[in-house]
Amino acid sequence: MPARPKKSRARTHAPVRKPAPVSRSQGRKVYMVTGGVTKFAKAHPSMDFRLMVKRAYDYALKGIPNLTADRIDGTRISYFSDHFTRQLKAASMVQDYLGMNPKGSIRLEWGGATGGECFQAAYEAVASGRMDVCLGAGFETMSRVATWKGNEFIALASDTNFDFPLGGFYTGYYALMVIRHIYEYLRLGRFANVKDEREAQRLAIAEGSRIMSLVSVKNHLNALHNPYAQYPKRLTVDDVLNSEMISYPLTREQICTMSDGAATVVLCTEERAKEFTDRPIRVIGVGTGTDTMRLADRPFGKVPLMPHERPRDYADLRYPGVHSFRAGRAAGIEAYRMAGITNPNSQLDFIELHDAYASSEIQTYEDLGLCKYGEGYSFVERGDPFLKDIDYGFPVPRAGAIPVNPSGGLIACGHPVGATGLMQAVFAFWQLQGTVAKHFGDPALQLDHPKRGAIHSHAGTGSAVTVSILERGFR
Amino acid sequence: MTARPAVFSKFRDAQAELERSGAVLFRDADGVESLIIRFPYAINYIHSYAEDSPFFLGLAEGRLRGSKCRKPKCGFVYATPRSHCMVCGAPTEWIDLPPKGRLHSWTTCHFGSEAFLKETPYNLGMVEFDGVGSLLLVRLKDAVESDLYVGMPVEARFDPNPKYSITDVWFVPSR
Ligand SMILES: [Zn+2]
């Protein structure tokens, strides 16, 4: 068997540290009471970042007469890149455009997980007692540079000594990860009996590419019913496979795009929530995890287990390597523990996760324990993450088991980095409120009385991940 | 420049005009016109390799160096060097990496960031070495997409005219 480094005296297994225990005191109960999103678009030349946030903010406050600016104690504002904005301290300009001065504010930046961090920072402001009502606002204006320059800016979020100068390109990094994921779980799985090594790997990659395309079809098709989405469309598996090759084996339709957009959330205490809405949504768990900036430095250790997993499930797996996201697993474990979730499949009704690539959606199913490591491809083929009432053009036997990215995810909605994690919060909020039809003008994506959902925001090559759990706070 | 720049309602066309004349009016679907100008933005960053410097100086001498934790009980070996051990925090020492390794993973980039678009298609590979605990990300040359596979034996080549960049080393299929 190639590519399993031989044993040697040098130490090759870094210990995988257990995630930090959840604090016994989780502070005050925190509720989400409203949110707003601008339509994500390739470019919004007629709105700068301040106006985009203002639109998402006005939308959030609309229809809640007693939620006015003076009731908001302060803000948490997120955007990823000063390069894209070409305006440092842009969060200050949002703060003053919204008329929030001199209230407190903190700017958040955490790569692709910037929006997810912003959500959790707003959560912490309320849970800690520092604020009763906190506005979380995020944005990104990525259209201000050409697409390939934008890719360069994003690639600067990789090590500029060792990684960027090689041809820094995030799709390339994710391609490296999925080639290994396919090797671990398809080559050594359903193609284990193919004798010729290179033939086996080609077959495995073809199979993996086909299954990734099912994910892309799902997300683009779901988004047909989401008016905020940037690239809703009906695609076939062949359309996805035959779209331009970007970094082998990832094709254009398996990759999210750059966007302009903004999103806002309002989080508050239980007492305030009752004043603002009769349909509050409680944030019952938050988790974050991290990993090395460089893919090359990821350890080869043991899998941190979730309550429904056993050590024997992964006896031979060297983890995370470059095939899985340890940060996502750590974030999931922390958030589930706080929320009292011991089996996400039975206790979550849907997940909005960070599908910057169709590959990373599949990797994330495993990180979040929706299926075991190695089962992500079968999980897609069985249909678990698909919606029940949508015709995808192929059989999805277990559709509706646990819908993933019912909104269309990043692949179809777009990815204005600082807004993305907050967009997920808003879509999850509307799902749990049962107000999707009202906000989307289309009931197709509304799940049947969902009780609990998770949102997942992911940075870099998996160097930081946040997971937050939301639960219906009304009958 | 004229008093009123040309008006476009397709963003792509507006971008092209911007390249030509430096100013454009973009009219959106609601009829709102926004004035867009070209704003050049270039810097020469003073990039110090600092504690990683010996690695890059090594490449210029045709040496590929990793680092090894000095603490005997730990002794973790890094293919991508770092001056302090991530496992135990002790300082590391420089070591020579084996000249040959295997592909842990790979890809061929058909597109890339603007800085690298002209080099496409190019291959990236993560190399694993016997007795080394972490990987090294490199360019792979003398091979096309259909040649590459996980486990492929590869070996280092060095640029005789070093640029003091990670691109001073690349890997090729071992013979
Ligand atoms: Zn050490």
For the segment A110-130, what is each residue's pLDDT rounded down to a tens digit? 999 999 999 999 999 999 999
- What pLDDT band is residue A5 in, cutting at 50, 70 and 90? very low
Find the closest chain A residue to B109 by CA distance.
A247
Residues in chain A closer than 8 A to B32 (CB atoms): 46
Q: Chain B contact for A180, CB < 8 A?
A: yes
Residues in chain A closer than 8 A to B104 (CB atoms): 3, 180, 321-322
d(CA A458, CA B65): 32
* Interchain proximity B82–A292, CB inside 8 Å: no
* Interchain proximity A146–B76, CB inside 8 Å: no
Average pLDDT of chain B, as a whole number: 96
* Contact by Cβ (8 Å): A45, A235: no
For the segment A287-333, what is each residue's pLDDT rounded down to a tens digit? 999 999 999 999 999 999 999 999 999 999 999 999 999 999 999 99
The residue among A209, A238, A233, A236 whose CA lies nearest residue A222 is: A233
Query: How far away is chain B from the Cα of A433, in angstroms, using its nearest Cα?
Result: 32
State the CB neighbour count (10 A cutoff) for residue A451: 12
Mutate to test the interface with A, among B69, B107, B122, B124 (most CBs of A within 10 A): B107
Residues in chain B closer than 8 A to A148 (CB atoms): 111-114, 117
Q: What percent of chain B clears pLDDT 90, i.e. is strictly above it?
A: 94
For the segment A74-113, what is each residue's pLDDT rounded down to a tens digit? 999 999 999 999 999 999 999 999 999 999 999 999 999 9
Query: How far away is chain B from the Cα of A414, in angstroms, using its nearest Cα?
Result: 17
Cis omega (within 30 of 0) for bond into B121: yes
For the segment B109-159, what is each residue's pLDDT rounded down to a tens digit? 999 999 999 999 999 999 999 999 999 999 999 999 999 999 999 999 999
- 3-state SS track over B104-142: EEEEEECCCCHHHHHHCCEEEEEEECCCCCCCEEEEECC
What's the residue count for chain B? 175
Mean pLDDT of A157-181: 97
* Interchain proximity A179–B79, CB inside 8 Å: no
Q: Chain B contact for A255, CB < 8 A?
A: no
* C-alpha A11 – ligand 1 centre gap (Å): 9
Residues in chain B closer than 8 A to A3 (CB atoms): 102-104, 128, 150-151
pTM above 0.80, yes or no: yes
Residues in chain A closer than 8 A to B135 (CB atoms): 295-298, 322
Mean pLDDT of A37-57: 95
